[in-house]
Every structure is written in structure tokens, then in C-alpha cells.
Amino acid sequence: MSGHMLMVLLAYGMQLTCLFRGVYGTATNFTNSKLLVIVLDGLRWDAVNTTRAQPCPPEGACVVGQYFTAVQEEGATAAWMAPVFPTTAAPNIFTMATGELPVDHGVLGELESGGEWNLSSAATPLWGSAAQLGLKTALLRWLDCSALHEQDDLVSCVDRVQVAGVDNLLVQVVGDAALAADSIINQGYSVVLMRSEALMWTALHYGLGSGEAKTMFREVELVLDDLFRELKAAAIWDELSVVLTSGSGLTSVRPVATKGSDLGACLATDPSAPRMRYASAGSVLLMPGGGGTADQVIQKLQNCSSIPNGALRIYKMSDLAKEDQWPGEPEEILIIANPGFSLEWNTRDHRTAHEMEETLSGAGVGRGHLAGNGFSALDWDMKGIFMVKGPGIQHGVTGPSVSSHDVHSVLQHLMKVPVQESRWQEVSWIAVPSSTSSKNLSLTVMLLSFFMICID
């Protein structure tokens, strides 16, 4: 037998006797893998800094501190940033669960309608991937568990009653945290997704700089600290991967209390009322209906007494520079709320979700810099936070901004689901450098790495 073949056999044998060395460069045990994903609606990069009365420097230069340090200090932190439009508030519960976003700056229609998931790109939800791996998955405080009625038996969904008010929301966070701990420690769940809207609701109603918002930030952090202490006491913290990230509603949270502009009330009585194509608290895209024109809709909005002066910026797509136009009709209208204001729209239109996803998935829309009439494609509004800790994740690093695709890649890696290498390379800075991940190393060096694992 040749020396080369012997080395190959030795390497193979050692892989069988040693723990598997993952892409992160640390020894990992697949069967004991645990993943906790905490999605906090309204947790913005600048929100955390605003509560500390400190401005947030340019992207990549701001280190989040004071709040949620348990995850940040033991892992990696990044901002999620996107223009105010066209975009969706992501990563959110939909994009993190499905990994589906046609283009990072594209419009994403409703993924769930009438209890059915509208996955036009046939993406595999996070819980679907977990079930395929034989991992029990729990969804806590999900929007609509009826959408999961055909899912695998390994997946459980806990519908939480919609509540309002600071006290009620805080009680809900406490209950969900206790359930998350019990699911991981006692019920054998490997993947737990927990979501809360407490921060978003409080900041939206009282203002981000208010005492109520600061109190809610502290209270939520205390709840999570208790959750983490319970997991540490169960001796699974070191093996547990934790993702703490912003959810949907990022544009809802602004430094000051917002004054809502009810667009629906201004336009509902019109027989040719426009249909909503996309909406958030920061921007709305409308399509004139019933033979109406964009100019007619704009005139009605300008004459509407319920919309405060200076609240909105209104653009007709055909008036924008070509590089700032999006896939759609020339008569479509983009409305952006100015700082201090938010948008309200009381109806949702699901009819174009599938059509829009297919249109935008291959559009490759380029974004211009500064177009006419004051519209800027670089009008940054979505500044989410993404924190991740776990085996092989670097400690205390702050990296460049991530996209929803990046988030999904990280989640897949933490679950040991194969992902495209080209996508993972975009966020490889999160991982502890691993000598075994290099394709240029010789077989001898690889063998030495295997020996070191077994010695440890």
C-alpha cells in the first residue's frame, strides 16, 4: 500500500473516532446541536445607541453595548441595513424562516395569506430543514400557526394571543422565555424560534427616547439574561448557538414619537381607490385602481385634512430617474414618511404577492444615487441588529452589514445544513478562522489538524 493511501485511510479513521470538525474550526457534536433564535421586532441598530443618548457612527464603526451584551460579547455583531424603499423590513420572521427574498432591495409580498404559505420560489423554511434533519423545532409567538398545519410532527407552533400595552407585552416576553428554556432543556427541542413585538410597540407609542421605551429595553434584556442564566445552569450554554436579531417593523421605531398619517382613510371613499403593493410604517407603494391615475391619487392625498403638513414625500415612478425606478407600472406612487411621522394603511392586498416575487426575483434592479425631486435611493432607514454566538463564532467582533440571505446562511450553518459556499463567504468573518477550511492545505497539514482534535 502506498504511503499516500495509508495517510488517507488514517485520516478517514480518525474522522470516525473524533468529533466532527465543522466549518467554524471548532469541534462540534451534531446530535447535541441546539439553536435559539430570538427575534425582537423594532430592535434597531440606532435604537440601542439612541437609548444611550449616543449617535451611531457610520456603518461598521458602531459597537453596540449596554443592552444585550450577553450575546454580543460572546459572539459577532453586525448591522442589517437597506434603503427605505424598495425593500422589506428584513431579516424578519418570514425571511429568517424561509430564506426567501428575491433581491435584497426588492419588494416582498405577503408570504402568508389565508393560512397558506405563498412560497413561489419553493424555498425550504427553517423548520422544514430542521425536520429533515430529525430536529425538533418550536415556534413561539408565531403569527399564525394555522399556516403550519401540514408540517412535520417534529415541528410545534405556539400561537400567542395578540395583546397591547406595556405590562401585557412584558408578561408575554417572560412567558415565552420560560417556554423557550423548557423546550430546550426538558423537551428535547433542538431549534427554538422566539419572537416579541414589545420593543416595537413601546417605541412606536411612546417614542424611542421615552422613559417607557428605555424601561422596556431594560426589562426585555433582564428577561433574556434570566433565560441565558437558566440555560447556563443546565450546562448547555457553551454548546448552544444563539441568534438575537431585529424583526419586522424596523421603520416603525423612530427616535421620537411618530404622528400617523392614515392613507386608507383619505382614499377609502374613492370608487377607484388605489391598491397597496407594499407597506411599512416608513413607506407605501400604491397602484391606482379603477382607471384612476397617479396624479388623481396624489391630489387627493395633498388635499386630505387628516395628513399633517410636511408628513410625506410623494413620488410618481414615471417622474423618477430611470436608475431609481422599480419593476412595475409608470402610474405607481411611492410615499415615504418624513422623520417624526409614520404611515398607516388599514387594508392589505394579497393578490399581487406571487406576481411581484416572480417579477423581482430576476429583475436585478440597480439603485441610483440621488434622483430628481428629492428622492434618494440611499435614504437609509432599516438599521437592524444581528448578533450571533455559538461554537466557532468569533467573540466580540463587529463586522459589516448583513443581508437576509446572509442571515439565512448563518442559520443554516448553525443547524449544519449545507449552503452554497459563495453565499457563506460573504459572512465568513463571523467564524473563527479554521485551518481545515482552506482548500490549499496539504493532506499532511490536514492530518495534523485531526490529531490535534483528538488530543484535545
Q: What is the DSSP string of 281-327?
A: SSEEEEE--TT--HHHHHHHHHH-TTSPTT-EEEEEGGGS-GGG--S
pLDDT of residue 15: 35
Most confident of 130-144, 359-373, 438-452: 130-144
pLDDT at 371 over 50: no
Task: Give the residue range(s) of CATH 3.30.1360.180 domains in the chain.
Answer: 259-374
Name the band, by pLDDT with cuts 50, 70 and 90, for residue 206.
confident
Looking at residue 349, what is its pLDDT?
34
pLDDT score recorded for residue 383: 65
**In the β-sheet with 137-142, what is the strand arrangement from edge to edge?**
155-159, 137-142, 191-196, 34-40, 240-246, 380-389, 75-83, 397-398
Decide yes or no: CATH 3.30.1360.180 for domain 259-374: yes
Q: What is the pLDDT of residues 19-54, one digit of tens each?
A: 223 333 333 344 467 999 998 887 777 666 655 545
Q: Tell me, what's the pLDDT at 34?
A: 92
Residue bearing the bigger pLDDT, 98 or 318: 318
Q: Which CATH superfamily is domain 30-251+380-430 in?
A: Alkaline Phosphatase, subunit A (3.40.720.10)
- What are the residue ranges of CATH 3.40.720.10 in the chain? 30-251+380-430
Mean of the per-residue pLDDT values for the chain?
66
Closest-CA residue to 301 (of 317, 284, 318): 284
243 pLDDT exceeds 60?
A: yes
pLDDT at 262: 76
Full-model pTM: 0.66
What is the pLDDT, as a whole number, of residue 164? 59
- Which of 104, 201, 185 is CA-nearest to residue 138? 185
Q: Would you state the pLDDT for residue 94?
A: 56
| Relative orientation angle of helices 443-455 and 3-17, to the nearest 10 degrees | 30
